[in-house]
Chain A
């Protein structure tokens, strides 16, 4: 465009709308969860006890801390401290990777024990337990995909920051990526108790 037009408020507004669509996307799965839980309360408890709570707890801590570092990155860029911003972005992405590696080991162990959608082992456990694990794999899988997308987004923005495209004057891109990362974190905060902490 010949006349440069920039609207940071508009960009943030658009991002919030997009985050809203993500919430609705997951709300479909929460709806399925609510219906299944009310149908099989006992079997959901059995399923939940078979999850490894240590993996879940560590991942919660990792993700919460990464949300802190990305929030700090936004403050850092506002103050023009590019190197600090890049470091904090790297820390965030690093923790995202730790989260996914953790998840890899967790899921490998479960699949080894015959827990995966459509397995004979689950079919023997009754339909409630099967429903729990089907939801578990699909919902947490979709969340994992979002961690991957968020991490990629932050990496791209970090590269742009290093190139001087994102500065203390125009940092909306970083801010919006941080918002996305917070959403990924927020969804996990709901998923963790719903899957790991059923008594």
Chain B
């Protein structure tokens, strides 16, 4: 199709109200998904810029570009934005909303209005977080974990920041309830549990964690708020409270939350790899059930964040054992992805490159997790740069790269246009190389003993810090090229047909971009599994 005859706009042109109201009041899951996508991507860019600023500050010992107080605020805001405003909603709220109902053959989610409310909760949270930076007596400086007693005593604007996190938690709960109900109730005829695409399985497991764990952070943050405003004193040892209990309650949510962050990413990878290896996913049920196993076991391991906070040896032993158990379902996933590749007809398209680097980076991060999960090595490494490196390997190298894979895989579906592949590959290569320089240096620094969140360091650490900072520039350049390329692709790219990649899941059988209500007059009837590629041919573009 040429540029001039291309007029079909799918859901983009089917708003019930004109202009911007057609979006702000829309209950269409695709429009809400696009709104989420815009928000989380913007938040990611803000967070990434703050991250680059932190790295720049650490390029040399002593003050470089900011004061110590600004540095504390910068890493706090970087953490709050990246965790609560980007990673947690990133894949589930954006691609979950866009893709999941289509993949199960539904016309929308179970509660479309609740879906819109959850987006508004997210926006209120985002606005509060931004206000927290610019109002009151300075941006919060506690770190994203808001540990007491500092968070209840600091004069900076922690009140607004915790309320922002509370609202974002509420948004997350509403999405979770919606997704669990949708997957139970709205599957199309023939869409049995054994035919659910893996992305849906991981969203299902994620949604359960969102429902089960998020209220705990809600009450914990409310208590911080109450402590600061009314002096509730529940975490104040002088008034009979217990500060260590804060850490327990915080991690009872926040550890399962890292599985909220990673599971949907694993789902994306499980979609991408079979399509570009032209083979059914190896071990479907093992993959599906390991998602649930991660969700379940991941809820029981929060204590491994607190080996150094004061716990009995018995508790440390139990938490350490449980932590190792979580590694089993994660390893099942890695091995099954690799087995899917075996003897496949592999096509190294951009989504596949991101997916393959996910496996590589996530494995490094995951193995680092075992180093931290073992009590003996954790005592040495706790609160060092190793933790920062590990966390970025699993969260950025894992979820972040999965998010980029999802962008490259599904954006052509929703915009009907293809980006430039060559530039996408260049961006990927820069990011992959830059990423490893940035974060591997951090892990090495941690082993050498450099503490995290420190403004200054001894001269021995200078070289590796410089390597890390230069790496962050390469990474930043890669990100810039990727976003520019994607933007140009959705604006001016070559139009694509229904199925540019040759996927077998339902979203590839409807037009790009999908129409409102996804499936025309008749509800779809599913007759084959999600990775049954027999007779599926990719459209030329």
Contacts and interface: CB of A to CB of B under 8 A. Distances in A.
Contact of B111 (A14, A39, A127, A138): A14
B234 interface: yes
B31 to A, nearest CB: 13
B233 A130 contact: yes
A118 B240 CA distance: 12
A9 B110 CA distance: 11
A40 B240 contact: yes
Given A35-B242, A35-B245, A138-B223, A10 B218 contact: no
Contacts of B223: 28, 138
A10 B185 contact: yes
Contacts of A21: 173, 177, 211, 214-215
A199 interface: no
Contact of A117 (B232, B238, B249): B232
Contacts, number: 118
Given A18-B177, A36-B240, A28 B219 contact: yes
Given A13-B185, A118-B231, A127-B240, A25 B178 contact: no
B218 A14 contact: no
B245 A31 contact: yes
Contacts of B220: 28
B63 interface: no
Nearest to B173: A21
Nearest to B233: A134
B517 A3 contact: yes
Nearest to A12: B181
A9 B218 CA distance: 28
B216 to A, nearest CB: 5
B527 to A, nearest CB: 23
A166 B493 CA distance: 50
Interface string B12-39: 0000000000000001000000000000
A133 to B, nearest CB: 9
B107 interface: yes
Contacts of B242: 32, 35-36, 39
A7 to B, nearest CB: 6
Interface string B359-376: 000000000000000000
Given A20-B212, A21-B214, A138-B226, A128 B234 contact: no
A11 B219 CA distance: 25
A88 B148 CA distance: 46
Contacts of A17: 176-177, 180-181, 211
A120 interface: no
A104 to B, nearest CB: 17
Among B27, B108, B241, B249, the most chain A Cβ lie within 10 Å of the Cβ of: B241
Among A22, A43, A135, the most chain B Cβ lie within 10 Å of the Cβ of: A135
A10 B240 contact: no
Contacts of B230: 117-118
Interface string A115-153: 001100011001111111011011000100000000000
A2 B517 contact: yes
A163 interface: no
B88 to A, nearest CB: 16
Interface residues of A, number: 45
A14 B107 contact: no
A138 B232 contact: yes
A28 B232 contact: no
B239 A14 contact: no
A5 B112 CA distance: 11
B184 A13 contact: yes
Given A28-B216, A28-B219, A138-B223, A117 B110 contact: no
Contacts of B216: 24-25, 27-28
Interface in B178-198: 178, 180-181, 184-186
A134 B219 contact: no
Interface string B224-237: 00100011111000
Contacts of B234: 32, 131, 134-135, 138
A43 B239 CA distance: 13
Contacts of B214: 21
Contacts of A24: 212-213, 215-216
A11 B517 CA distance: 20
Given A14-B111, A18-B177, A117-B233, A7 B212 contact: no
B107 A134 contact: no
Contacts of B212: 20, 24
A186 to B, nearest CB: 16
A187 B176 CA distance: 23
Given A3-B107, A117-B232, A127 B219 contact: no
A146 to B, nearest CB: 13
Interface in B100-141: 107-108, 110-112, 114
Contacts of A29: 219
Nearest to A18: B177
B107 A5 contact: yes
B177 A14 contact: yes
Contacts of B238: 127
Contacts of A22: 215
Contacts of B231: 117-118
Interface string A70-84: 000000000000000
A130 to B, nearest CB: 5
A32 B245 contact: yes
A31 B218 CA distance: 14
Interface of A: 1-3, 5, 7, 9-11, 13-14, 17-18, 20-29, 31-32, 35-36, 39-40, 43, 117-118, 122-123, 126-132, 134-135, 137-138, 142
13 contacts: A5-B107, A10-B110, A10-B184, A13-B184, A14-B111, A17-B177, A28-B215, A31-B248, A31-B249, A32-B245, A127-B238, A134-B233, A134-B234
Given A26-B219, A118-B231, A126-B240, 13 more contacts: A3-B107, A14-B178, A17-B181, A21-B215, A22-B215, A31-B245, A35-B245, A36-B242, A131-B233, A131-B234, A131-B241, A134-B241, A138-B226
